[in-house]
Structure 1
Amino acid sequence: MLRIVVKEGENIDRALKRYKRKFRNVKVLQELRERKQYTKPSVTRRAQIQKAAYKEQLFTEE
């Protein structure tokens, strides 16, 4: 559970921004989306290999 301590005199918008940043960094939403459906380990591995190959291609073109 995320906790944000709002300091005295702190703007509520700034505290909300800190909460959103913490929520994004914890990757809760990303994990929920991944768990919606099952993906086989081989499919996950294949996607990682394709992503790495794509990144490598981008770096070699420069």
Structure 2
Amino acid sequence: MLIIPVKEGENIDRALKRFKRKFDRTKTKRSLQQRKQYDKPSVVKRAQRIKAAYVQKLRTQEELG
């Protein structure tokens, strides 16, 4: 549970912005979205391999360039 202390005279919009930022950092939204839809293990592994290849490509380009 997230607790955001609101100071005296603080604008509610500012407090909401702090709450949203803190909520995004906990990665709760991402985990809820992942639970909402089932992905086959083979699909998850394939996505991981594609991402790893992309990152590797970027790193090799950075070393050469």
User: Which residue does the alignment assign to 2:43?
Assistant: 43
**Structure 2: unaligned runs, 5 residues or longer:** none
Aligned Cα root-mean-square deviation (Å):
1.5
CA distance in structure 1 between the aligned counterparts of 2:49 and 2:25, rounded to whole angstroms = 24
2:25 aligned partner: 25
Aligned-partner Cα distance in 2 for 1:31–1:12: 27
Runs ≥4 in structure 1, deviation > 6 angstroms? none
Q: Identical aligned pairs, as a percentage? A: 65
**Count of paired positions:** 62
Consecutive unaligned residues in structure 1, runs of 5 or more: none
Shift of 1:45: 2.0
- Cα drift, residue 35 of structure 1: 1.4
Aligned-partner residue type, residue 27 of structure 2: K
SS at structure 2 position matched to 1:4: coil
Deviation at 1:9, TM superposition (A): 2.3
Tell me the equivalent position of 1:10. Answer: 10
